[in-house]
Amino acid sequence: MTGRRGRLRVLLGAAPGVGTTCAMLEEGRRLLAEGRDVVLGVVETHGREATEALAAGIPRAAAAAGVPHARGTTGARQRPERPEDPRGRGGRAGPAGPRRRAGPRPQVVLVDELARANPAGARHARRWGDAEELLEAGIDVVSTVRVEQIASLDDVARRITGVPQDGTVPDRVLREADQVEVVDLAPASLRERLAAGLIYPAERVDAAVASYFRLGTLTALRELALLWLADDVEQALRDYRSEHGIEEDWGTRERVVVALPGGPEGEALLRRGARIAARSGGGELLAVHVAGQAAPGPGAPADRAAQRALAEQLGGTYHQVLGEDVPRALVGFARSVGATQLVLGAGRRGRWATRLTGRDVGTAVIGESAEIDVHIVPRAAAGGRSALPRSRSALTARRRLAGLAIALLGGPLLMWLLAPLRDPGSIATAVLSYQLLVVVVALVGGLWPALFAALLSGITLDLFFVEPHLTVAVADPVHLAALLLHVVIAALVSYVVDRAARQTQKARRAAAESELIQAVAGSVLGGRDEVRALVEQTREAFSLDAVRLVRDGEALAAAAGAGVPRLVVIGRASDGHEAELAEFVRRGRLAGVEVEVTGYLSDEGLLEAARSVGVPVVAHRHVSASGSLNSWLTAGRRPVVAANRYVAEMARARPGTLTVVAPEALAEAVTAARARPAGTLLEPSAVAGQGLEATAAAYLAWWGCT
């Protein structure tokens, strides 16, 4: 392995005949003209003269030159009935240009159609495996792939074309490519090329036009390819902004967030948001409900379930976040997803209620939205109900100040109103009036403003309503008892009202959290990677930058981040390897990646856990719970690991000692390992270690730290 990993360039096509192979060969000729050492690993010409002419001038690779399964193909002219098959099957091997003599490794290798299967007995089942081996050897690769051969789009493409694919390329391979370029051709132009016999022979044109090459099918495949590339470019842009510390969203893609209040008016808001997204040229629609302090209505759960289904029907996604400050939660979510527009309904609170409890949700959102456009939908258009829960807590500083103001102003006002009744027989009326004032203050401002009102009202009653007036002396003991009882009762009522308000808040918070858990569970169920989905939903719901899930003695960990360039390493270096780990962390920082090392297990703890057959051994991300996979193997266990380059090297070096699964299938493999943990035991003959030093070196080399 060289210190430099090769660069992968992939030419993505929507359908056969768009010109990906020709574009690859033209790129090879251009690189040859620049003086690069370019060889032809494998090409599918399908008997097309123009393609064969392009391939003729490029040397064909020899296996001895370090190119696995090197072979040029022209597509057998002996089999014109199948020049190209939409399922990914096609031409035969044949000469394609002069054969390159064995010698130093080439700089660039052209590998056509990554999803194609290799001959039986080859080191890799498919060509994308050959491409990865070339990249590991430091050789650049230029290749091609069709959109229906992307693993995550296989089922969608099958519904569009009705043609199953013989093989696919993992999304990981394409996402890790240094450059992905769409070779685009309008569907009408592609059909003209087909009619001219440039793709299929004349006898197959009519059948192709009637099935795979229908205008609607080609248009859908083209859109699928462009959307996939747009997502890839968007992820690259997010990575760039994260690496350079750019927090401001550039608004390169329209994203419309619709704030759902939880009632039936949410349907109208969703449809309004969908129209805005459609007018913006295919913008993304996201619906969000803030589960906060407001008590849900009797039909709220059913309304939210219906709105979730409607959001999916409109091509959007449904999200739920937790927050007592609704405006801040909405704006925080909108910024976390890069929203450009925010749609919410107008509140129903009047002017005095707004002045008493603070800004309404719409005003607060506008004040905090900054670069996000805010659309306020009137109540009539939104269904006539409050668009969002109340945004302020019942015991905020503003509410306390309001309670104090009522106490200060209400006392003199009552004194003025009760002045005509100031006689010994009206003391009961005065006491009850001030008792009512204390209860009102408690409802508005809570405990402490109410206690202040109780003391103030007691002094007022003593000075102005109990003889002798304007003195603190009390002539009648009954009046003194009435004053004391008034203060005590007012304090108790204040405490009860304040406690009830706090308990109501706690109950609403608990209900919101329960609802949130239900929403997260609904989003996770049915997914291919339940663990990752759960972590991501949790991060999103609580507006966190990152979440790490650790269980079973930290043998399984998953991490999800929102644009955080952080690598989480579960484990530690064994004795004598601390320097390598420190160097790994240092080089990561130089590359702009913070490396966090966490979840240590001592060697004794590792051996104890490994020998406990009831505990499945799982290596997630990059290392296991101790310093390396080799530690588990030495303990006699067969770890379940997600496929990557490092794992592939270990699996080849020690066959049968690892259970390697695709990353998206890791959760299912963990469940199976839990059900039958004894299946993770190794035969005694397979336990011999290859050395921790070699394992650590391979791991560091994988990350370019040699």
Q: What is the pLDDT of residues 528-555, one digit of tens each?
A: 455 566 666 666 666 565 565 554 443 3
pLDDT band at 193 (very low <50, low <70, confident <90, very high): confident
pLDDT for residue 8 = 92
Determine the straight-line distance between the first and last CA of the chain, rounded to whole angstroms: 11
CA distance 469 to 416: 15
DSSP β-ladder status, 659-661 and 640-642: parallel
Residue found by looking up tokens 């060889």 in the block: 39
pLDDT at 143: 94
Tell which wins on pLDDT, 596 or 157: 157
Average pLDDT of the residues of the chain: 70
Q: Among candidates 299, 178, 292, which has minimal Cα distance to 542? A: 292
Res. 695: pLDDT tops 50: no
Of 332-341, 500-509, 672-681, highest mean pLDDT: 332-341
Task: For residues 85-105, give the mean pLDDT.
Answer: 49
Question: What's the pLDDT score for residue 402?
Answer: 84
Least confident window among 194-208, 225-239, 341-355, 669-683: 341-355
258: phi then psi, degrees, rounded to nearest 5: -110, 120
Query: How far apart (Å, rounded) are the C-alpha atoms in residues 608 and 301?
Result: 47
SS3 percent helix, strand, coil of the chain, rounded to 5, is 50, 15, 35
Percent of the chain whose predicted confidence (pLDDT) is above 70: 55
Query: Could you read off the pLDDT of 262-302 as tens digits, one per residue?
Result: 777 888 888 888 888 877 666 788 888 887 645 555 456 77
Higher pLDDT, 477 or 405: 405
30-45 average pLDDT score: 89
pLDDT digits (tens, 9 = 90+) for 41-63: 888 887 788 888 888 888 887 65
Return the H-helix or E-strand segment holding 519.
helix 477-524
Q: Which of 78-82, 178-182, 249-253, 588-592 has the lowest mean pLDDT?
A: 78-82
Whether the pLDDT of residue 85 is over 90: the answer is: no
Cα distances from 617 to residues 556, 575, 675, 694, in angstroms, run 8, 22, 12, 21
Write down all domains in the chain, each with its CATH number in brackets.
8-235 (3.40.50.300), 255-382 (3.40.50.620), 397-500 (no CATH), 548-702 (no CATH)
C-alpha–C-alpha distance, residues 634 and 115, integer Å: 37
Mean pLDDT computed over 456-472? 73
Lowest pLDDT segment from 348-362, 365-379, 630-644: 348-362
Write down the pLDDT at residue 511. 66
Residue 68 pLDDT greater than 70, yes or no = no
Residues 232 and 50 sit within 8 Å (Cβ to Cβ):
no
* Token pair belonging to 589: 């920082």
Residue 64 is predicted with a pLDDT of 41
Between 80 and 640, residue with greater pLDDT: 640
d(CA 8, CA 131): 8
For residue 11, pLDDT over 90 is answered with yes
By percentage, how much of the chain surpasses pLDDT 90?
A: 5
Residue 204 has pLDDT above 80, yes or no: no
pLDDT of residue 110: 93
- pTM metric for this prediction: 0.44
pLDDT value for 225: 85
Q: Is pLDDT larger for residue 381 or for residue 617?
A: 617
Angstrom distance (rounded) from CA 512 to CA 509: 5
- Categorize the per-residue pLDDT at 432 as very low, low, confident or very high, splitting at 50, 70 and 90: confident
The candidate with the shortest Cα–Cα distance to 250, out of 546, 563, 540, is: 563
Q: At residue 700, does pLDDT exceed 60?
A: no
Please give the Cα distance from 60 to 286 (Å, whole number): 51
Reported as a pLDDT band with limits 50, 70 and 90, residue 220 is confident
User: For residue 699, what pLDDT is reported?
Assistant: 43
Q: For 385-405, how does the pLDDT look when each residue is reduced to its tens digit (9 = 90+)?
A: 433 334 344 466 777 888 888
Angle between helices 530-541 and 666-675 (to 10 degrees): 120
97-107 tens-digit pLDDT: 444 445 578 89
pLDDT tens, residue by residue, 137-146: 889 999 999 9
In 3D, which of 237, 262, 201 has the Cα closest to residue 49? 201
pLDDT band for position 696 (cuts 50, 70, 90): very low
Q: How far apart are CA 449 and CA 455, in angstroms?
A: 10
Q: Is residue 411 predicted with pLDDT exceeding 50? A: yes
- What token pair was written down for 420? 């005509």
**Which of the two residues, 340 and 71, has the higher pLDDT score?**
340
> What is the pLDDT confidence band of residue 514, given thresholds at 50, 70 and 90?
low
Q: What is the mean pLDDT of residues 248-274?
A: 78
pLDDT of 688 strictly over 90 = no
Lowest mean pLDDT among 76-80, 111-115, 160-164, 300-304: 76-80
